[in-house]
Amino acid sequence: MMKFPSDLLEALRAAQHIAVLTGAGASAESGVPTFRDAQTGLWAQFDPEELATPEAFRRNPKLVWEWYAWRRTLVERAQPNPGHFALVEMERHAPQFTLITQNVDGLHQLAGSRNVIELHGNIRRYKCFACETPHSGPLPEGEIPTCASCGGLLRPDVVWFGECLPAQAYRVALEAAQTCDVFFSVGTSGLVEPAASLPRIARRALATVVTINLDVKTEWSPNAYAIHGKSGEVLPALVSAAWG
């Protein structure tokens, strides 16, 4: 039985608005390899930062397509884990709930979360590299599928290095960080901006901030809780301790 401080459980029960930011660690127990962990076999020779850029796509669209096709097969094998389901449950209890994710795997939606803000896009979607029109329906035949409206090359609808975050998604995330009562940071290293500054913004706005990560030591201080552990274990335990 995991024990949590009673003031944290009270803060959760009293919260009008809970915001959660997730990163690769939230999908780790689903077997989704991180960016770097996916670089095995044939792909080991490539640096992901040289594949996930608009320049790389311009230089060699076929290579980038094949890499994403490979990463997509890895994502499609994965299923949501108990951490994803605990967040679905949390959404039911919180009067207002915003789930912000840096993951592109769509596992939160698959688990049943409704209000998901995707900061880095979704690897299961495509858009036109030239005119950005989202692609719907099955992928057209051909080595690199093309856009139905302009004939440009289709690309995965994810945020590449050097690209801006989707403006509307980022606005909603920022507002959630500024206005929530409790902010969770789950399975994210906090190294990639601007998502990394959201917990800081929440803290400045006097939210209770909860970090769940394998990388932290468990520590409580007023309104800031760090919980060392796997999100697939900590989140279900915390949700049942608060509302079970």
Q: First-to-last CA distance in the chain? A: 13
Amino acid found at 39 = Q
Pick from 19, 23, 126, 208: which binds ligand APR (CB under 6 A)? 23
Nearest residue (CB) to ligand APR, 147 versus 234 = 234
- CA dihedral of residues 232, 165, 68, 42 (deg, nearest 10): -80
Is 120 among the residues known to form the active site? Answer: yes
| 65: its two tokens | 């397509």
Contact with ligand APR (CB under 6 A): which of 109, 189, 203, 205? 189
Instruction: Compute the distance between CA of residue 209 and CA of residue 181 in angstroms, rounded to an integer.
Output: 9
* Residue 200 to residues 20, 183, 218, Cα–Cα distance (Å): 13, 10, 19
Q: What are phi and psi of 150, to 5 degrees?
A: -125, -5
133 binds ligand APR (CB under 6 A): no
**Closest C-alpha to 42, from 63, 24, 72:** 63
Look at residue 121 and give its three-state secondary structure: strand
Stretch binding ligand APR (CB under 6 A), from 136-144, 146-154, 172-180, 182-190: 182-190
**Residue 84 near ligand APR by CB under 6 A:** no
Structure tokens of 34?
């991180």
Where in 30-59 is the site for ligand APR (CB under 6 A)? 34-35
Is residue 102 involved in binding ligand APR (CB under 6 A)? yes
Place of tokens 């108990």: 82
Which segment (23-31, 39-47, 90-98, 131-139) binds ligand APR by CB under 6 A? 23-31
Q: Which of 8, 12, 15, 25 binds ligand APR (CB under 6 A)?
A: 25
Binder among 168, 191, 221, 222 for ligand APR (CB under 6 A): 191
Binding site for ligand APR (CB under 6 A): 23-25, 28-29, 34-35, 102, 120, 187-189, 191-192, 212-215, 230-232
What is the set of active-site residues? 120
